Amino acid sequence: MVDVNSRIVGEVRVVGAGLLGASVGLGLRAKGVDVIVHDASPANLRLAIDYGAGRAARDTDNPTLIVVAVPPDVTAAVIAAELTAFPDALVTDVASVKAAPLAELLATGADVARYIGSHPLAGRERGGAISARADLFIGRPWVITPHGPARFGEVGVIEDLVLDLGAVPVTMTAEQHDSSVALVSHVPQVIASLLAARLNSAPESALSLAGQGLRDTTRIASSDPELWVQILGANSAEVVRILHAYREDLDAIVAALEAPDVAGARRAVAESLAAGNSGVSRIPGKHGQDRRFGQLVVMVDDKPGELARLLTEIGEAGVNMEDLRLEHSPGAQIGLAEISVLTEVEERLAAELEAGGWKIAGAWK
Amino acid sequence: MVDVNSRIVGEVRVVGAGLLGASVGLGLRAKGVDVIVHDASPANLRLAIDYGAGRAARDTDNPTLIVVAVPPDVTAAVIAAELTAFPDALVTDVASVKAAPLAELLATGADVARYIGSHPLAGRERGGAISARADLFIGRPWVITPHGPARFGEVGVIEDLVLDLGAVPVTMTAEQHDSSVALVSHVPQVIASLLAARLNSAPESALSLAGQGLRDTTRIASSDPELWVQILGANSAEVVRILHAYREDLDAIVAALEAPDVAGARRAVAESLAAGNSGVSRIPGKHGQDRRFGQLVVMVDDKPGELARLLTEIGEAGVNMEDLRLEHSPGAQIGLAEISVLTEVEERLAAELEAGGWKIAGAWK
């Protein structure tokens, strides 16, 4: 089936109807692609089909592309089975680790010339088809990891999949991918979980003092342990390498804090904190080095319709918000709307809002 | 001066015109209190006065209450000087650590019967009077740490200050306070800074894969090193105690990941992650155990006015939002508005929005 909207040509078979698989199905169907969805669990499969992620498999299926979206532990085995069952299909997967499944797959003797690994950097804390979204991948990086003498045209098919789903294709080796995600995803998960674990023995009075800093720092600690055991196990070498370096830095700051009045101790602590400043400034995006957006903080009364009135005025000013965050303390009569807009319109918007009677609590570029 | 709006009676002198001091001044002046503001730096002082945080000191000043809002390192010395200069005034401070300044103060031989320490759990990553806000403390806990035989009436004056500023008074000993904030604030700062420091040596291609997880986990790593060296130094014993326990957990997960196929290794990793799950669930508030609020995720076209239209309809439905978060990937044509509302109105609102043509991408209680 050729569809005017999709780049992908032919049927796409999605194996695994969890969050990622069902989101791939929803996204491709929105482009008019014929999506076959399959799951080892009949209940999961029914849910995904009801949800609109695709249709059930038929004996006559002849997919051009198969997307394997199963847990990391079984990814290689499922890829091997799909390569055998569909000898004309190209197979990719969406597992969060790439080198280990490939090595496992090579050990099975499968026809790996028809396999190209990939990994969308997208997800949510909540899993399952029920949390799936057609737009889950929009604007997110999707790493493609060709191995050996991958043919150009086949990488192109995976790129078409990625582009059909609104994601941004990025090509790396499996090893580059694994060391990158160890740093930006797997190690932060470990660090956040260990920090959150410290809260178990805390008195409630201490927890009642928690603010946004603790909430943000530990948010991802609510992720699914079962999935993460598999991810960390499959990428353990890279994760351990970074955790060793982290542990050295931790030892240094602990030593300095154990003797804070010794010469050089405060400097050591200050250098750790400054290294954190420079590290965080390297993260792209609105909290990092992306300086295209400025922030305006506007005070908003805590009653129905007030925020809508503010946003209506922003819309009437012809300004598009890149991001909006409402800060609102429980019980407070006033909220603060932090609005991200292009820096070139920020001053004009602030002036128009003030003229309209809004109080600007802060403005930054 | 007695003001019908304020609980505080008489003049309040604020020493230190940074973020906290200037915010105290703005908040009290909004209640009609006569606020004297002072800063060792004439430039800072002028800025704070221009900003409306208070008036300059006069020889005839006779404050009933003095709020010391200077860096932790000089807090005890400034409290001692204020106690001497104003023999009839009660003095409090807002430093993030409480036991060390008190011990220092006792060593000076000052009249500590007129001093009661306190600490508002409020702040921002950006400092200075320029970031001050009258509503900075609204709804936030403000810890009061009486020492020795503090007279009931004097604790009441500090409570009046806290209530005038919209904060919630919490009474603890200095030691309870310091161990609590070590856990919910100081250790998370160290952990986030060390994690962010790992990003300094990373290739840009790795950083380009960063998602919200890394951003949240490292956000507070952008805090001011100079201030944090003082905070960590003044509370080093409590911070070190927690970091030791953290390091034991880190060693355990590193050992398990170094030999992921050894019997029990995966279980050890899973238990670490599960301990993180239970720890994070203990944090009060919308991401923790506060189950009064449900979340609705609504798809919103990325064009001016669309979000306003959504919020207008929510207002017309008579529903008040507790919180709103706009998720929006750069370049995407669609945003997702995550709306927190009381669980009892969530289903009705979802039905009304769907009837109005909005797409609900998800709903949770």
The pLDDT value recorded for residue B199 is: 97
Residue boundaries of the structural domains of chain B = 12-172, 178-280, 293-364
The pLDDT value recorded for residue B61 is: 97
Shortest distance, CA B4 to any CA of chain A (angstroms): 20
Q: For B337, name the nearest residue in chain A, comparing CA atoms only.
A: A324
Taking only the tens place, the pLDDT of each residue in A150-201 is 666 789 999 999 999 999 999 999 999 999 999 999 999 999 999 999 999 9
H or E element in which residue B74 lies: helix B72-85
Query: What proportion of chain B, given as a percentage, has pLDDT over 70?
Result: 92
Contact A279 B254 (CB under 8 A): no
Taking only the tens place, the pLDDT of each residue in A215-274 is 999 999 999 999 999 999 999 999 999 999 999 999 999 999 999 889 999 999 999 999
Considering only CB atoms, B272 lies closest to which of A197, A209, A251, namely A197
CB proximity B156 to A under 8 Å: no
Tokens for B131?
Answer: 């970031």
Report d(CA B172, CA A328) in Å as an integer.
Answer: 26
Taking only the tens place, the pLDDT of each residue in A40-88 is 999 999 989 988 999 999 999 999 999 999 999 999 999 999 999 999 9
For residue A196, what are the contacts with CB-CB under 8 A and spacing of at least 6?
A218, A221, B275, B276, B277, B279, B280
The pLDDT value recorded for residue B40 is: 95
pLDDT for residue B3 is more than 70: no
Give one DSSP letter per residue of B84-150, joined into a string.
HH-TT-EEEE--S--HHHHHHHHHHT--GGGB-EEEE----SS-SGGG--TTTTTT-EEEEE--SS-
Chain B residues in contact with A221 (beta carbon < 8 A) = 273, 276-277, 279-280
The pLDDT value recorded for residue A309 is: 86
pLDDT for residue A96 is more than 60: yes
The pLDDT value recorded for residue A334 is: 63
CB proximity B106 to A under 8 Å: no
pLDDT band at residue A299 under the 50/70/90 scheme: confident
Chain B residues in contact with A126 (beta carbon < 8 A) = 362, 364
Chain B residues in contact with A331 (beta carbon < 8 A) = 139
Q: Give me the mean pLDDT over the A93-110 stretch.
A: 95
pLDDT for residue B330 is more than 60: no
Considering only CB atoms, B198 lies closest to which of A141, A245, A324, namely A245
Report d(CA A133, CA A72) in Å as an integer.
Answer: 21
Taking only the tens place, the pLDDT of each residue in A104-117 is 999 999 989 999 99
The pLDDT value recorded for residue A286 is: 44
Range with the poorest average pLDDT among A128-142, A344-358, B76-90, B295-309 = B295-309
Please state which CATH class domain B12-172 belongs to.
Answer: alpha beta
The residue among A176, A244, A282, A286 with the most chain B CBs within 10 A of its CB, best to mutate, is: A282
Considering only CB atoms, B275 lies closest to which of A197, A269, A303, namely A197
Taking only the tens place, the pLDDT of each residue in B239-262 is 999 999 999 999 999 999 999 889
The pLDDT value recorded for residue B287 is: 40
Give the ipTM: 0.81
Mean pLDDT, all residues of chain B: 89
In one-letter notation, the amino acid at residue A239 is V
pLDDT for residue B289 is more than 60: no
pLDDT for residue B21 is more than 50: yes
Residues 344-363 of A with CB under 8 A from B: 361-362
The pLDDT value recorded for residue B144 is: 97
pLDDT band at residue B328 under the 50/70/90 scheme: low
Q: For A96, name the nearest residue in chain B, comparing CA atoms only.
A: B209
Contact B284 A362 (CB under 8 A): no
Considering only CB atoms, B215 lies closest to which of A213, A287, A322, namely A287
Chain B residues in contact with A207 (beta carbon < 8 A) = 184, 282-284
Q: For B319, name the nearest residue in chain A, comparing CA atoms only.
A: A304
pLDDT for residue B286 is more than 60: no
State the virtual CA torsion across A183, A185, A188, A192 in degrees, nearest 10: -170
pLDDT band at residue B65 under the 50/70/90 scheme: very high
Report d(CA A92, CA A155) in Å as an integer.
Answer: 10
The pLDDT value recorded for residue B334 is: 63
Report d(CA B128, CA B113) in Å as an integer.
Answer: 31
pLDDT for residue A2 is more than 60: no
pLDDT for residue B81 is more than 60: yes
Shortest distance, CA B305 to any CA of chain A (angstroms): 4
Contact B312 A308 (CB under 8 A): yes
Q: Give me the mean pLDDT over the A321-326 stretch.
A: 76
Report d(CA B346, CA B323) in Å as an integer.
Answer: 13
The pLDDT value recorded for residue B133 is: 87
For residue A359, what are the contacts with CB-CB under 8 A and spacing of at least 6?
A298, A299
Q: For A136, name the nearest residue in chain B, comparing CA atoms only.
A: B329
Give one DSSP letter per residue of B259-317, joined into a string.
STTSTTHHHHHHHHHHHHHHHHHTS-STTTT-TTEEEEEEEEESSTTHHHHHHHHHHHT
Q: CA Rg, chain A, in Å?
A: 24
Query: What 8-state DSSP symbol labels residue A139?
Result: T
Taking only the tens place, the pLDDT of each residue in A272-290 is 999 999 999 999 864 333 4
The pLDDT value recorded for residue A1 is: 39
The pLDDT value recorded for residue A42 is: 94
- Burial bucket for residue A263 (CB in 10 Å: 0-12, 13-18, 19+): exposed
Considering only CB atoms, A276 lies closest to which of B194, B233, B330, namely B194
Chain A residues in contact with B239 (beta carbon < 8 A) = 257
Tokens for B279?
Answer: 């720890």
Considering only CB atoms, A210 lies closest to which of B229, B284, B324, namely B284
Shortest distance, CA A198 to any CA of chain B (angstroms): 7
* Options 3.40.50.300, 3.30.70.260, 2.40.340.10, 3.40.630.30; CATH of A293-364: 3.30.70.260
Q: For B321, name the nearest residue in chain A, comparing CA atoms only.
A: A304
Question: b/e string for A47-74 if b means 16 or more Cβ within 10 A?
Answer: bbbebbbbeeeeeebebebbbbbbbbbb
Q: Give me the mean pLDDT over the B91-112 stretch.
A: 95
Q: Give me the mean pLDDT over the B55-61 stretch.
A: 97
Mean pLDDT, all residues of chain A: 89
Architecture of domain B178-280: Orthogonal Bundle (1.10)
According to CATH, the topology of domain A178-281 is 6-phosphogluconate dehydrogenase C-terminal fold (1.10.3660)
The pLDDT value recorded for residue A123 is: 79
The pLDDT value recorded for residue A56 is: 97
The residue among A143, A170, A175, A191 with the most chain B CBs within 10 A of its CB, best to mutate, is: A191
Tokens for A188?
Answer: 């932060």
Quick one: which of A314, A312, A337 has its CA closest to A326? A337
The residue among A239, A257, A348, A352 with the most chain B CBs within 10 A of its CB, best to mutate, is: A257
Under DSSP, is residue A253 helix (H, G, I), strand (E, B) or coil?
helix
Highest mean pLDDT among A102-111, A339-348, B237-246, B281-290: B237-246
Q: For A222, name the nearest residue in chain B, comparing CA atoms only.
A: B277
Contact A214 B266 (CB under 8 A): no
pLDDT for residue A327 is more than 70: no
| Intra-chain end-to-end CA distance of chain B, in Å | 49
pLDDT for residue B108 is more than 80: yes
pLDDT band at residue A328 under the 50/70/90 scheme: low
Shortest distance, CA A85 to any CA of chain B (angstroms): 30
